[in-house]
Amino acid sequence: MLQAAQAVNRQFNLTPNPRILRMLGEISLLQWRCIAELIDNSVDAFMDAVRAGNPVATAEVHVSLPSTTSDGGRITIVDTALGMTPDVLETAVTAGWTSHEPGASLGMFGMGFNIATARLGTVTTVWTTRDGDPEWYGLTIDFDALTQQKHFNTPLLTRPKLDAHEHGTEVTIERLKPEQRQWFAKAGNRSRVIDELAKAYSSMLRPQGVPISFRLSVNGTAVKSRQHCIWGTETEPRIVKTGRMGDVESYQTVSVQLGARGFCTKCWEWLSASEKECIACGSVERVVMRERTVSGWLGLQRYLSETDYGTDFVRHGRKIELGNKDLFSWSRDGVTELEYPIDDPRQRGRIVGEIHLDHCRVNYTKDKFDRTDPAWEEMVQAVRGRGPLRPEVAAQSGFPPNVSPLSRLYQAFRRSNPKNKDMAGGYSRLLVVKDNDRAEEMAEKFHDGEPEYQSDEKWWNLIEELEKQLLKKTSGTDAGETATVADWPNPSGQAPESAAAPQPEAVPVPVRAPIPSLTREYRDDVTDLKWEVAAFAVGATDPELNGDIPWRLRANNAGIHQFFVNFEHDVFKSATMTPLDALLAHLSWAAMDFTRGRNLQADYGRILASLRARYAGTSKLDVDELASEAGQTLASIGRALVGQVGPEDGTALFAELAGAEKEAVLKRMAVRGVTNPQKEVSEGRFLEYATRKTFLEFFSRHPEFFFDGRYWDTPYTTLDFGVASATEEAQSQRMRYYSSLLADAVWLADQDQSDLSQASRARLLRAALALELLAAGMSVEGEN
């Protein structure tokens, strides 16, 4: 029989062996995160001072990193916080102890401190002092010595103060591990630490930081806040008009009050709305009521990227997760579907943001929020809504319209290209720069802090230039018109300026309109030459051109290469010659001229090919982009039937399909998770699930559903030649013409990438032109 347990007059010593500290150093933690753990403690001290009503006048953290592999290398973190007493210092560095709890601070001084320091080295010394203290107080944690003595006792150290008003804390890590010395000795790795810290603390390294502002330096270099390069600002966002969502701002503010909730300061657990005591410890006294808020913003980047986009999740000012993409997927019944980016052929995205979630738990390495914490799901619903982002999927699943901040951005800007690339207004409505390589290059200048790139004006200039070209092209195509200098876009909004020296008043100053798309720095990798080019559209009578040459490139006294080009010249009426081609050819000639008399191995063809590879990407026949555009075009045409038919007509049209075709449609509906196929059929959505062959045959049988403003403005049923046979022939020709264009689009969409890569240039050009012609007759630019 089991006997009841009885206490005896003895106690067990459960103090962990000092070797536990060495084991903490085996926890995988990136070098910059180790440094951040120590910076976090300084930030917590700054915030504690603010809460106590005694904020630090100059909040600074200075980090020193080693630059050699020598044994004497050390890492030092010094702050200007209020400092600690010796008693507080003793407990602060005790493994697993903390005076903070995650509801109010960045984290745990004890645990984070020990993991970070043990990861980097084996000897750590901490010094601290307060304003008015007679000296600095310190202690040393030497893992080797602690292991040998088999206890954690370490003496209190003191050192004199030069100024009685000094205050702050200094952490020095010595006897760095060999692999750490080698890592920090590389300049690129030290730069990587600076870059990551600039992103992690970006919300606090800027003026009026959140929740505080402080200054950070590494090896004497100020760490500047790494901001997102977005369209518009919080106070002046770009606004576009959409049919479904109305006016949509490029900057979406997120501010959701979730209401007060009980929090146990002993167990660090949030209580449910109905609970009054902690279910973990049964405490009522340690439960406090705390407000819970989800705040921040979502915005639109000025460029597309395969990796550089997503949401930054922030806890008490420190970014825990950078560029997270979880909010772009929809999960239901254990199945997760990516919803963004799905419209770009290269899977590039541009939606970014910062979401502050102070009341949600993070893991012990502080690099991920706890997805099991109910606070996480509350944030997801506040930022992206309860249902799918895709409106058609939401409707199929029975969800109401999604008006969350992310959904509004998604509806307006999910596409990376307008449906009709030759129609003016598409790029400006999507806020997309067609030449994404150029947009990314300008973003680098934004991050480098160049003043003229801080606003989005230069990106907008590129869009405005292209839109005006398209507008002129659309309005002048039939008449064979070409752009004149007066028509050329001048995105600066100012009167066109002369690029030449001032002329006497009696001589008219030539009109020269800046060309933003050609104005930039050009570099040649073959000869390592670079040119700063300022491009201007000019007339045939401009003195630089002498009336008979199409362009001229010359350097002015400031070293700027001015490119004057006459768009009306006959040479640019060729389908294979553009002003960009002219400029790159001229730069290639200039590079070859530079090599004369020098021992340089250069070839004109190689130089031109190198320049075109870097600066003429938008004219390349990208098979991935063409195939994606073809699929999107066909899907868009297929949706034209929706809204035109009633339930009985939709069902009757579906019944016309052959048995195998209907079976294929229903199978695709099942794969895509459609729960009510009869509804999809009655609404005419079945074409969205049909094979390409079925789609073409349906178009041939029922062209009336796609013309006369239903998808294309082109007349069909309204054609009337007065004679029935003539009218029928006109309709037949129109149907055959569009059928051939659709067949080219189907060919593009159905080909494997390897097959498209082997296709001839002429075949790809024909298919690309077919997409252009299919888009040209659209009645309206559809929803994104």
Q: Tens of pLDDT along 97-111?
A: 444 444 455 444 346
Tell me if 782 is assigned to some domain: no
Choice between 4 and 221, residue whose per-residue pLDDT is larger: 221
459: Cα separation from own chain's centroid: 16
213 and 251 in a single domain? The answer is: no
Residue type, 717: T
Task: Return all residues near 282 (Cβ < 8 A) that are at least 6 apart.
Answer: none
Distance, CA of 351 to CA of 365 (rounded, Å): 27
Tell me if 6 is assigned to some domain: no
Tell me if 431 is assigned to some domain: no
Which pLDDT score is estimated for 483? 44
- The share of the chain scoring above pLDDT 70, in percent, equals 87
Tell me if 357 is assigned to some domain: yes
Hey, is 441 helix, strand or coil? helix
**Mean local confidence (pLDDT), 388-392:** 89
Which pLDDT score is estimated for 479? 32
pLDDT of 217 higher than 50 = yes
Tell me if 697 is assigned to some domain: yes
Which pLDDT score is estimated for 13? 52
Q: Determine contact, residues 762/754, Cβ cutoff 8 Å.
A: no
Which pLDDT score is estimated for 110? 47
Tell me the range of 108-122, 392-406, 551-565, 678-692 where mean pLDDT is highest.
Answer: 551-565
pLDDT of 283 higher than 80 = no
633 and 551 in a single domain? The answer is: no
Which pLDDT score is estimated for 589? 92
Distance, CA of 224 to CA of 191 (rounded, Å): 13
- Six-digit token pair at 204? 């606090």
Tell me the range of 304-308, 417-421, 653-657 where mean pLDDT is highest.
Answer: 304-308
pLDDT of 495 higher than 50 = no
**Mean local confidence (pLDDT), 628-642:** 84
pLDDT of 367 higher than 50 = yes
**Mean local confidence (pLDDT), 87-101:** 65
pLDDT of 506 higher than 60 = no
Which pLDDT score is estimated for 71? 87
217 and 337 in a single domain? The answer is: no
Tell me if 374 is assigned to some domain: yes
- The mean-pLDDT minimum among 19-33, 125-139, 221-235 falls in 19-33
pLDDT of 24 higher than 70 = no
- The mean-pLDDT minimum among 88-102, 483-497, 606-620, 649-663 falls in 483-497
Distance, CA of 582 to CA of 718 (rounded, Å): 46
Choice between 184 and 602, residue whose per-residue pLDDT is larger: 184
pLDDT of 633 higher than 80 = yes
- Six-digit token pair at 57? 């006048």
Q: Determine contact, residues 209/233, Cβ cutoff 8 Å.
A: no
**Mean local confidence (pLDDT), 731-736:** 91
φ, ψ of residue 218 to 5 degrees: the values are -130, 120
- The mean-pLDDT minimum among 47-61, 77-91, 136-150, 220-234 falls in 136-150
Which pLDDT score is estimated for 675? 79
353: Cα separation from own chain's centroid: 8
- Six-digit token pair at 8? 């005896």
279 and 355 in a single domain? The answer is: yes
- Report the C-alpha dihedral over residues 470, 475, 481, 485, rounded to 10 degrees: -60
Give the CATH number for residue 195: 3.30.565.10
Confidence of residue 150 (pLDDT cuts 50, 70, 90): low
φ, ψ of residue 643 to 5 degrees: the values are 90, -15
Choice between 441 and 629, residue whose per-residue pLDDT is larger: 441
Question: Integer distance in angstroms from the first to the last C-alpha of the chain?
Answer: 75
Which pLDDT score is estimated for 81? 95
Tell me if 579 is assigned to some domain: yes
Which pLDDT score is estimated for 16? 61
Which pLDDT score is estimated for 509? 60
Distance, CA of 448 to CA of 436 (rounded, Å): 18
Distance, CA of 522 to CA of 588 (rounded, Å): 11
Which pLDDT score is estimated for 593? 87
248 and 217 in a single domain? The answer is: no
Angle at 266 between CA 262 and CA 270, to 5 degrees: 30
86 and 113 in a single domain? The answer is: yes
413, 446, 474 — which closes off a domain? 413
582-601: pLDDT as tens digits: 999 999 999 998 887 666 67
Hey, is 469 helix, strand or coil? helix
63 and 148 in a single domain? The answer is: yes
176 and 276 in a single domain? The answer is: no
Distance, CA of 445 to CA of 441 (rounded, Å): 7
401-451: pLDDT as tens digits: 899 999 999 999 999 988 777 778 889 999 999 999 999 999 999 999 999
Which pLDDT score is estimated for 35? 96
Distance, CA of 521 to CA of 534 (rounded, Å): 9
413, 435, 450 — which closes off a domain? 413
Q: Please state the domain count of the chain.
A: 4
**Mean local confidence (pLDDT), 317-341:** 91
Q: Determine contact, residues 168/79, Cβ cutoff 8 Å.
A: yes
Confidence of residue 23 (pLDDT cuts 50, 70, 90): low
Give the containing element (helix H, strand E) for 765: helix 761-776
**Mean local confidence (pLDDT), 623-652:** 84
Tell me if 438 is assigned to some domain: no
pLDDT of 780 higher than 50 = yes
374 and 292 in a single domain? The answer is: yes
102 and 217 in a single domain? The answer is: yes
Which of 66, 64, 57 lies closest to 39 in space, CA to CA? 64
Distance, CA of 383 to CA of 389 (rounded, Å): 11
- Six-digit token pair at 115? 């993991």
CA distances from 380 to 234, 293, 294, 329, 754 (A): 22, 13, 10, 11, 40
166, 191, 222 — which closes off a domain? 222
pLDDT of 26 higher than 90 = no
Distance, CA of 65 to CA of 529 (rounded, Å): 36
Which of 444, 438, 231, 442 lies closest to 351 in space, CA to CA? 231
Choice between 39 and 262, residue whose per-residue pLDDT is larger: 39
Distance, CA of 189 to CA of 218 (rounded, Å): 13
**Mean local confidence (pLDDT), 705-717:** 87
33-73: pLDDT as tens digits: 999 999 999 999 999 999 889 999 999 999 999 999 998 89
Hey, is 191 helix, strand or coil? helix
Q: Which domain holds residue 735?
A: 623-776
Task: Return all residues near 783 (Cβ < 8 A) that are at least 6 apart.
Answer: 242, 243, 244, 411
628 and 581 in a single domain? The answer is: no
Mean pLDDT of the chain: 85
Give the containing element (helix H, strand E) for 537: strand 529-537
Which pLDDT score is estimated for 8? 56
191 and 243 in a single domain? The answer is: no
